Amino acid sequence: MSSISSHSNSGSSSKLDRKSLRRPDQFMAALSDFFNELSKNYRAVLAVVVAILVLGGAGILVSSRKEARAEEARNALYLAIQAVQADAKRVAEAEPKPVVDPKAAKAKQAAPVAASPETIEYKKLDVDAEFSRGVQMLKAVTEKYNDSRTVFEARLQLGDLYYRHGQPAKAVSWYQEAAQGAPGPFPKSLAFSSWGYALESSGKASEAIPVYEKAINIGEASLKGDLLLAIARCHGLLNDSAKARSTYDQILSQLPNTEYARQAEALKAKL
């Protein structure tokens, strides 16, 4: 019995060995063939590997250089804004000081306002003359770099500088360029609306209306009320009361129970 059992176990073991070895044998043969082919074409394989490494390294280098260039642009914009603020401070400090009435010397007088950029923020000035260094540096950013967000900010800064200091006609082109190269929906809508305000303030209400409409079509809800009021205002400036009234009605229907609706209702009543 033991010999039969032993023989049976031996046969079973032999049978399992043949099955278990069949696939490893095929795998090893295939692996051997692969390496044989690889050795025959090692130069081509080496060329492919080298090409992959070179392309990967080049991609990393380009990405690194691009980020370094963007960082350089951001630094240049920061320095340009600092220059504008320094120009503004210089102009503010040069403003005539308020004259104290000697007759009222004993009376309580308000403390003089310290000179700061905020005191001249909306004062009419010759921007190119008074902010020459800051303007040149901002323009350099727009000309030298291609980082869309940084260039957008520089253009917007230039537009704001001219607009706030009473030169809306010079602001128009900067807002237009900012709108055309804006890096996203909200910045684009903001630039379009600023472009419209500059046109309107330059006496070009008919040109401002389609710009305001483009700003609305971008879809930024937070700006819609102001833009519709601006469109109605432009129609009023063009003596088109019917279109102004229609725009006010649009505000009342689309933005009910808002400050914009209250303004529209009051302005409509004056037509």
Dump pLDDT digits (tens) for 14-61.
Answer: 444 444 444 455 655 655 665 566 566 666 656 666 556 656 555 565
pLDDT digits (tens, 9 = 90+) for 111-126: 555 667 888 999 999 9
- 251 and 147 co-located in one domain: no
* pLDDT for residue 173 is more than 70: yes
Asked if 181 and 228 sit in the same domain, the reply is no
Give how many domains the chain has, as a whole number: 2
The predicted pLDDT at position 95 comes to 85
**pLDDT at residue number 136:** 98
Both 79 and 154 in a single domain?
A: yes
Mean pLDDT of 141-164: 95
Top mean-pLDDT range of 8-12, 45-49, 100-104, 247-251: 247-251
Predicted confidence at residue 18, as pLDDT, reads: 43
Is residue 43 assigned to a domain? Answer: no
The percentage of the chain sitting over the pLDDT mark of 90, rounded to a whole number, equals 63
Check residues 69 and 169 and name the one with the higher pLDDT.
169
Tokens representing 67? 């980020």
Q: What is the CATH number of the domain that holds 126?
A: 1.25.40.10
Q: Taking 80 as the threshold, does the pLDDT of residue 110 lie above it?
A: no
Q: Point out the least confidently predicted range of 39-43, 186-190, 225-229.
A: 39-43
Could you tell me if 152 and 240 lie in one domain?
A: no
Sign of CA pseudo-dihedral 103, 108, 122, 217 = negative
Last residue of a domain, one of 199, 215, 231: 215
124 and 88 fall within a common domain? yes
* Long-range contact pairs involving 225-228 (C-beta distance under 8 Å, separation at least 24): 225/251, 225/255, 225/258, 225/259, 225/260, 226/193, 226/260, 227/193, 227/196, 228/254, 228/255, 228/260, 228/264
**57 occurs within a structural domain:** no
Please, how many CA atoms are within 13 Å of residue 108, restricted to the half-sphere of its CB?
0
Residue 190 and residue 229 in one domain: no
CA angle 217, 165, 229 (to 5 degrees): 30
Nearest to 138 by CA among 120, 109, 116, 160: 160
Identify the pLDDT of residue 67. 79
Q: How much is the pLDDT for 19?
A: 45
- pLDDT level of residue 97 (50, 70, 90 thresholds): confident
Q: What is the pTM of this model?
A: 0.73
* pLDDT for the residue numbered 199: 98
Q: Do 237 and 147 fall within a single domain? A: no
